[in-house]
Amino acid sequence: MAAVIPEPNRNRRTAAIMAGVALAMLGAGFASVPLYRIFCQVTGYGGTTQRATAEKAAAVQVAAGEISVRFDGNVERGLAWDFHPQQVTQQMRIGQRKQAFYIAKNLSKEPITGVASFNVEPELAGKYFNKIQCFCFNQQTLQPGQEVDMPVIYYVDPAFMDDPELKGTTQITLSYTFHRAASGAAKTLDRADPSR
């Protein structure tokens, strides 16, 4: 005959199990954002680009194929910035390092810290689009009326040409959207410093 668990002990055990399930779900919720970010960076899912060191970029062989890169710049509603690319497109050889500039200007009368989100189209090209240097790696603070040049140094991995799903692709669009940053440390850009 099976042992009968007294009612108060059964309730405590059920409550403990439910609390454990709730804590596990909470932990999974917090872990899902960084895990999703890592997944996107590894696979290029959702147009997420890759980061590369200057050393890695220097080892890349320039291929015979060419690609056009189109640049797009936006600001979220309510952010008093003007933000746009200096150039609309760049033609480049695949594997070649290129530099492009965006211009940002604070149109308000107060300092504003922004942070850029980004993606590429077609989304599958994200795993081949490598950024060596980019303003999007840090928050940016612009003083009232301040205008700055924001560089991005990038290349397209030659493996792009071997991907059958990208066969016939002649242009990649690199798109940025600036958002007001949450409070926290920010990096102020100085127009006179070309290394930024």
Question: Which CATH number characterizes residue 154's domain?
Answer: 2.60.370.10
Q: How far apart are CA 106 and CA 191, in angstroms?
A: 13
Query: Is residue 12 one of the residues assigned to a domain?
Result: no
Residue type, 77: R
Query: Is residue 168 one of the residues assigned to a domain?
Result: yes
Per-residue model confidence (pLDDT) at position 16: 77
Judged by DSSP in three states, 95 sits in: coil
Which domain, by its residues, includes 76? 47-188
How many structural domains comprise the chain?
Answer: 1
Query: Is residue 127 one of the residues assigned to a domain?
Result: yes
Query: Is residue 162 one of the residues assigned to a domain?
Result: yes
Q: How far apart are CA 49 and CA 43, in angstroms?
A: 9
In the chain, pLDDT over 90 holds for what percent of residues? 57
Q: How far apart are CA 104 and CA 140, in angstroms?
A: 10
- Overall average pLDDT of the 57-70 stretch: 90
Least confident among 35-44, 87-96, 185-194: 185-194
Query: Is residue 76 one of the residues assigned to a domain?
Result: yes
With a cut of 90, say whether residue 9 has pLDDT above it. Answer: no
pTM of the model: 0.68
* Mean pLDDT of all residues belonging to the chain: 81
- Overall average pLDDT of the 92-108 stretch: 96
With a cut of 90, say whether residue 35 has pLDDT above it. Answer: no
Query: Is residue 34 one of the residues assigned to a domain?
Result: no
Per-residue model confidence (pLDDT) at position 66: 95
Residue showing tokens 């804590």: 23
In the chain, pLDDT over 70 holds for what percent of residues? 74
Residues 6+ apart with CB under 8 A from 166: 122, 124, 125, 128, 160
For 70-90, how does the pLDDT look when each residue is reduced to its tens digit (9 = 90+)? 999 999 999 999 999 999 999
Least confident among 45-49, 54-58, 84-88, 90-94: 45-49
With a cut of 80, say whether residue 118 has pLDDT above it. Answer: yes
Per-residue model confidence (pLDDT) at position 29: 56
Query: Is residue 130 one of the residues assigned to a domain?
Result: yes
Query: Is residue 155 one of the residues assigned to a domain?
Result: yes
Per-residue model confidence (pLDDT) at position 7: 67
